[in-house]
Amino acid sequence: MYHLSSAAEKRARLSEGAMTTLIRGRCVLTSAPAGPLQNAAVLVDGPTIVDVGPWEALRERSPDAAVVGDGGGIVLPGLVNTHGHFSEGLVTGMGETLTLLEWIQRLIAPVAPHLTRESARVGTLLRGAEMALSGITTVNDLFVCSPRAKDPVTPGVVDGLEELGLRGEVAFGAQDRSDPRPIDEVFAEHEALASAAAVSRRCRFRLGIATVLAQSPELFAASVRRAADAGWRVHTHLQEVREEVVASRQEHGLTTIGYAARSGLLDREIVAAHCIWLTDDDIELLAAHEVRVAHNPVANMILGSGVCPVRRLQAAGITVGIGTDGPASNDDQDMLEAMKSAALLQKVSRLDPTAMTAPEVVRMATIDGARALDLDGVTGSLEAGKDADVVLLNGRTPELAVIHDPYQAVVYSATNRSVSDVWVQGERIVAAGRLTRVDLDAVIDAARELADGLAAAVGLRDDPHLVHPEVIRAAGRGADAGSR
């Protein structure tokens, strides 16, 4: 259904003088049934891919198209980041020795009330820039902050994504247990974000639930009801750490997944981050409800959370995408690093180099990620009729100078330094390694100023659990900062 109706129509569109581009590679990884193509190209007309095939044939067919790529690099679908938090955009690189619950208590919760629409916008610009420069074209975000009914925060995410040109699934990670709020106030924030997304070019709203246990039973029930009534898709975390499963069993007599299923949450279209601590029953429930999973290997390793049983999930028919997770738990937004980490974590934890392969990782980071977000009709693979979300990796770099197997080159050799060009819906948002739509220097200046203010307001740089004591001493603060 996404193929243009006829070759004649294609030719007509091409001859209208619309902007056409040929993106050329030594190899094109399509993530489509066509598989990998050697010495091939992607022909883009306006926002749409019109053909993918041999370079010479496409060149002959479209001699006037602009050509990007010297034929020595790798072309692949725009990468789909299935889980992140722009709310952490200004608090990166702290608290490396904390477990998840400690890290939430010491960093995420104290920061949440200080976030504003402007800091959301700037944090999104900064981390969205990092994402785009690593080949990400679609991001699924869960912004955790205190709701502000009169002055909503989360539309700042849509502002930032629109400026960058990224495609986004946007959600407000609502919670009210550690920070009690009237339910109306929480829903006003959801509604404000939904309205901002509705008038955006490339954002779509999801109902966010920070975690099931972070919501009061009243808010959780209201969230499930509203998602059903409004037909909203959902974004949450599920069973990231063992403590969560124990707490859920104590409170509800069920794992979080069992409780979420009983409450009706899993009847919604839902993407859940992590899914690490799972029983066989949990996996059956995830499969039966077609829950899609976002696997975040780097954050899981930094926080010491555990290893997602990716193969068991996939064997049960569950779609698993890859995420960077937030910039405070990762602590970067480099999708190529997350992809390499996904393979390495499975291999070393199972003591088995066949535990995950490069073609599987590329599939997870592209078409499976798009499927996880219910966007596989428009992105995630290079096929005629789909939106032109495309990445070109430069072959004229030390790391990609020699390519024997393009899948292994992408997953193990490429770095964000290799990303040369990125298109979203045919719009070139990165050209020759530079952002085209925003002034990165200005974003960096604004981010530093806001981050300094945030750190001072919350006292982040004086907490020896977040910043190493010798750094605090070197800054002349807290000779009495103590040791851990």
Give the residue with the Cβ less far from Zn ion, 236 or 416: 236
- Number of residues interacting with Zn ion: please give it, by CB under 5 A: 2
Give the residue with the Cβ less far from Zn ion, 273 or 450: 273
Encoded one letter per residue, x for contact with Zn ion by CB under 5 A and - for no contact, window 317-356 reads --------x-------------------------------
User: Smallest distance, Å, CB 58 to Zn ion?
Assistant: 41
User: Smallest distance, Å, CB 85 to Zn ion?
Assistant: 6
Which residue, among 265, 248, 327, has the nearest Cα to 81 in the 3D structure? 327
User: Smallest distance, Å, CB 175 to Zn ion?
Assistant: 12
Give the residue with the Cβ less far from Zn ion, 294 or 361: 294
Give the residue with the Cβ less far from Zn ion, 104 or 409: 104
Give the residue with the Cβ less far from Zn ion, 95 or 165: 95
User: Smallest distance, Å, CB 240 to Zn ion?
Assistant: 8
Give the residue with the Cβ less far from Zn ion, 325 or 331: 325
Give the residue with the Cβ less far from Zn ion, 155 or 173: 173
User: Smallest distance, Å, CB 273 to Zn ion?
Assistant: 5
Return the axis-axis angle of helices 256-263 and 242-252, rounded to nearest 10°.
Answer: 50
User: Smallest distance, Å, CB 421 to Zn ion?
Assistant: 29
Q: Which of the ranges 55-63, 98-106, 181-189, 273-281 carries the binding residues for Zn ion, by CB under 5 A? A: 273-281
Q: Which of the ranges 29-37, 218-226, 265-273, 372-380 carries the binding residues for Zn ion, by CB under 5 A? A: 265-273
Give the residue with the Cβ less far from Zn ion, 28 or 365: 365
State the residues that interact with Zn ion by CB under 5 A. 273, 325
